[in-house]
A = this chain, B = another copy of it.
Amino acid sequence: MAEQRKRKQVVTIDDVAKAAGVSPMTVSRVMNGFSGVKDTTREAVMKAVEELGYSPNIAARSLARHGSGRVGLLYSNPSAGYLSQFLVGALDGAQAAGALLLIEKCAPDPESEKAAIGKLVAGGAGGVILPSPHAESYSAQSELKAAGVAAVAVSTGRLRSDASAVRIDDFAAAAEMTRHLLELGHRRIGFIKGAPNQTASAERLLGFETEIRNAEPVASGLIEQGDFTYRSGFEAGDRLLSAHQPPTAIFASNDDMAVGVLAAAHRRGLDVPGQLSIAGFDDTSIATTVWPELTTVRQPVSDMAETAVKMLIEEIGARRRKGDRDPAERMLPHALIVRDSTGPAPKGD
């Protein structure tokens, strides 16, 4: 019933300019949130944009900006539950900023990282985003520095003082989860540590220990080493549960290990959460796959990726204007997700 014909011809900046009675340049300025535009003009442009349903052509923008807004992303494990969320966020951020995302896979060893970074730089990336495992890699960061491109690490403490980072407050999150368990009445709480070489592991442990120490009559010494894998969680859980006085709750440093604990508990015929509460960390897809669904801490993975992209683009811009750079660290809010794997401590315990 309406005008359907001009399907193919997408609205361009010139159409908007004409409709708003200004020059294309002014539209461009409005679209990019540039300051020097009068409010009345800005509104007129906005209105035209709305009416015509204009959205900038990102290819043209990237081209005109002369390769600024080309951001690299290194990833390693394409089947890790969290990569898709990460990619979605990064893509969103890139889209919003009008940048192009170059994506490169690599193994988690220095050689492979080096090669991948080389490709990214050759492809014109002005900066690179390093998600979790690579964020810990000193060699990757050095490599990037040598190539003269910016870097933003995600999900890790700052390794180097000259690189920016986006992360959550692992310490506070672990403390919150511990408090959640304490409030449910648990007094013997087991903890399974993550891989020793990752900063997040240490932070999470610290959060747990601090909270435990603040609580009063609480058993200690219920800490086992894990390495973020299901199997390590299974085994650590088994050790904890075969103690003379087994814990009534176990807090694992990530979801995979928590699911391992769940398996160990089921194997012993324990009811979860009736006899044992289990908590994880990360809220990856496995947390809602298993049954009962896992109480865990959610990282805003998409937001983190989006933020990382934006920071990177800003940094590239800043760097281009003047040799100066000002590494930032941004902390995003996490959330305690209470599902069915935690409940009140068993009676008479």
Contact = CB atoms under 8 A, between A and B. Distances in A.
Interface of A: 7-8, 10, 53, 55, 57-60, 62-63, 67, 75, 78-88, 91, 95, 100-101, 103, 105, 121-124, 147-148, 229-231, 234, 256, 259-260, 262-263, 266-267, 269, 284-286, 288-291, 302
A192 to B, nearest CB: 15
Nearest to A54: B122
A87 B73 CA distance: 13
Contacts of A57: 63, 67, 124
A79 B284 contact: yes
Contacts of A124: 10, 57
The 10 closest A-B pairs by CB, nearest first: A84-B84, A83-B84, A79-B285, A59-B62, A231-B291, A59-B59, A59-B63, A10-B124, A266-B267, A230-B289
Contact of A87 (B7, B55, B84): B84
Nearest to A86: B84
Given A53-B122, A84-B80, A59 B100 contact: yes
Contacts of A231: 291
A30 B263 CA distance: 57
A37 to B, nearest CB: 25
B87 A79 contact: no
Contacts of A103: 88, 91, 95
Q: How many copies does the complex hold?
A: 2
Contacts of A95: 103
A256 B290 CA distance: 8
A234 B267 contact: no
Given A79-B84, A262-B263, 9 more contacts: A53-B122, A57-B63, A78-B302, A80-B285, A87-B91, A229-B289, A230-B290, A266-B267, A286-B289
Most B CB contacts (10 A, CB to CB) among A59, A123, A284 go to A59
A59 to B, nearest CB: 4
B78 A84 contact: yes
Contact of A122 (B55, B88, B105, B259): B55
A123 B57 CA distance: 8
Contacts of A148: 7
Nearest to A92: B103
Contacts of A262: 263
A275 to B, nearest CB: 13
22 contacts: A7-B121, A7-B148, A8-B67, A57-B63, A57-B124, A58-B100, A59-B59, A59-B60, A60-B63, A78-B88, A78-B302, A80-B285, A81-B84, A87-B88, A88-B103, A88-B105, A95-B103, A229-B289, A230-B289, A262-B263, A285-B286, A286-B286
A263 B269 CA distance: 11
A55 B84 CA distance: 27
Nearest to A260: B291
